[in-house]
Amino acid sequence: MKRLSSKQAKAHAITPETKREVYERDGGICIWCGRVGLPEAHYISRSKGGLGIPQNILTLCRPCHDRYDNGSRRDRENMKYRFREYLSNIYPDWDEQNLIYRKET
């Protein structure tokens, strides 16, 4: 298993400020099904380098978060498509490439 540097681990973490901002942005509601949710889901997963920034964090209920993380490939693709639309409508300059941790050289 690859060890994360302290700097990289911090980049993936979701700060309380980010959680608060995303919770307010999404109204505390799962953006997939409309139930009460938590702002803890990475659009691009931490394992793929996803940052803990508002443009990469989504409010999802526990069942939808689990489905997004562990569901079928088709489920994940459908959800990711809708989440991409949602985030790009909120952030006009949204770009998936800006959501991934890049080691400074």
Per DSSP, the residues of 32-56 read: TT-SB-EEEEESS-GGGTB--SGGG
Domain boundaries, the chain: 6-92
- Give percent of the chain above pLDDT 70: 92
Asked whether the predicted pLDDT for residue 1 surpasses 50, the reply is no
CATH topology assigned to domain 6-92: DNA Binding (I), subunit A (1.10.30)
pLDDT band with cut points at 50, 70 and 90 for residue 10:
confident
Please name which of 77, 104, 99, 102 lies closest in space to residue 14, comparing C-alpha atoms: 99
Give this prediction's pTM.
0.87
